[in-house]
Amino acid sequence: MREVAIVAAGMTRFGELWESSLRDLFAEAASEALTSAKADRLDSIYVGNMAAGQFVGQEHLGPLMADHLGMAGVASVRVECACASGGAALRSAFLEVASGASDLVLAAGVEKMTDGADATEVLATAADQELEAYHGITFPGLYAMIARAHAKAHGTTDEDMAWVSVKNHKHGALNPKAQFRREVTVAEVLGSSMVADPLRLLQCSPVSDGAAAVLLCPLDQAKKYTDRPVKIRASVLATSTMALADRKDPSFLDAVKLSADRAYKAADLKPSDVHVVEVHDCFAIAEICCIEALGLVEVGKGRHAAREGLTALGGKIPVNTSGGLKSKGHPVGATGIAQAIEIFEQLRGEAGARQVKNARIGLAQNMGGSGASSVVHILERV
């Protein structure tokens, strides 16, 4: 296997982007990545996307997106892994370059969620249709059940979860690409409307449009495209049971632990070696569960991290400096790539007001469904 680097990135703003279609979003992000690397060719494209078929009635995204990038002819496929589609696309691109099959591959993610489809219903298709969605459960509902199980096991409170939103909005307020560039208070979070008890609106990520793209090549060719490549130390995907009911402990995201353990092993690193982290905070409780499963805090201690500043900018291990899914926005297929871009920029020292000093190693964790899929990438400045 060859060593692989990310050499360029492109990303739209996230939000309700009514002026842009699915293909517009992709073309904007992908062309920014190509332009920044001064690349005029590609060997292959991976398009991470969860549900364009349901959101805008469009399948067969591979050729559509290659065409709109002016690259008809290039190999191009869509990768689907629910909300982890972006991370899965990045992994596919990594494997293609690492294997030696291709030398220049675009990994992108895109989702257009505000064109009229009922987002709650579309997202619920990432749950088990026969055993979960049939009974009227929603995604906020599934994570609410995880939250209640976590509360029972570890005493996690609504206020603990509110602190995650407060912290991530504080970070997102500094991110020009974020959907919600404003801070919120604990009182505002706890006063927002109930979505699925105990999760309130400001503990849930929003419905968003957006796209993100990164360009991958072998590390030994990276200097052709940039003088600051970022190496992919590990690219790992793991799964768990599809239905929440089939998890022995519904308060623990075992696919996240499995993906993290494999990634640390592949990179020969441990959690304390990581300087900056993006996790999949689709709901506030998810960040608490993810930092536990990633080994950044002890299991059961995740509830204190945001409140105590451990995971804030300036803290011991800053988490979701981009604002996370909560504040930056969550165009589901694009999220995994956008997380990698935040780490890429942090490691290159390009994160502006959000910069983590001397960040050399970063981790991005992207999740699908109620934790049935988890993708972990570990990146390193070289």
Partner 1 sequence: MPSPRYWREVPNRFRLEAAKCRACGKVVFPARRICPACRKSDFEPTALSWRGKVVTSTSVVVAPTDFAQQAPYAVAVIETPEGARLMAQVVDCDPATVVPGTDVRLMFRKITQEGHGGILCYGFKGVPAA
Q: Does 342 bind partner 1 (CB under 8 A)?
A: no
Which residues, in sequence order, are bridge partners of residue 377?
235, 364
Rounded Cα distance, 341 and 363, in Å: 11
Choose between 23 and 330: whose C-beta lies nearer to partner 1.
330
Q: Which is nearer to partner 1, 120 or 185 (CB)?
A: 120
What mask of x and - would describe binding to partner 1 in positions 268 to 307, judged by CB under 8 A?
Answer: ----------------------------------------
Give 35 or 134: the residue with its C-beta nearer to partner 1: 134
197, 268, 308, 350: which one contacts partner 1 (CB under 8 A)?
197
For residue 127, the one-letter residue type is: A
Q: Binding string to partner 1 for residues 71 to 110, with x set by CB under 8 A, is what? A: ----------------------------------------
Task: Report the Cα 292 to chain-centroid distance in Å.
Answer: 17
Give strand pairing partners of 79.
48
Looking at 72-80, 148-156, 212-220, 344-352, which segment touches partner 1 (CB under 8 A)? 148-156
Report d(CA 306, CA 80) in Å as an integer: 31
Q: Which of 112, 148, 303, 307 binds partner 1 (CB under 8 A)?
A: 148
Query: Which residues participate in catalysis according to the annotation?
Result: 83, 330
Query: Which two tokens mark 343?
Result: 């780490």
Rounded Cα–Cα distance for residues 4 and 25 (Å): 26
Per CB under 8 A, the segment of 53-61, 70-78, 164-172, 196-204 that binds partner 1 is 196-204
Distance CA 368, CA 358 (A): 31
Here the tokens at position 362 are 């970063």
Q: Segment near partner 1 (CB under 8 A), from 65-73, 211-219, 239-247, 287-295?
A: 239-247
Q: Specify the stretch interacting with partner 1 by CB under 8 A; choose among 222-230, 237-245, 289-297, 312-320.
A: 237-245
Q: How many residues does the chain have?
A: 382
358: number of Cβ within 10 Å: 8
Task: Map the footprint of partner 1 across residues 112-131, applying CB under 8 A.
Answer: 118, 120-121, 124, 130-131
Binders of partner 1 among residues 2 to 61 (CB under 8 A) are: none
Rounded least distance, CB 202 to partner 1, Å? 14
User: What does 46-63 look like in DSSP terms, one character per residue?
Assistant: EEE-S-HHHHTS---HHH
Bond before 198 cis per omega within 30 degrees: yes
**Residues 6+ positions from 149 with CB-CB distance below 8 Å:** 249, 250, 251
The contact set with partner 1 (CB under 8 A) reads 118, 120-121, 124, 130-138, 140-141, 144-146, 148-149, 152, 193-199, 241, 243-246, 250-251
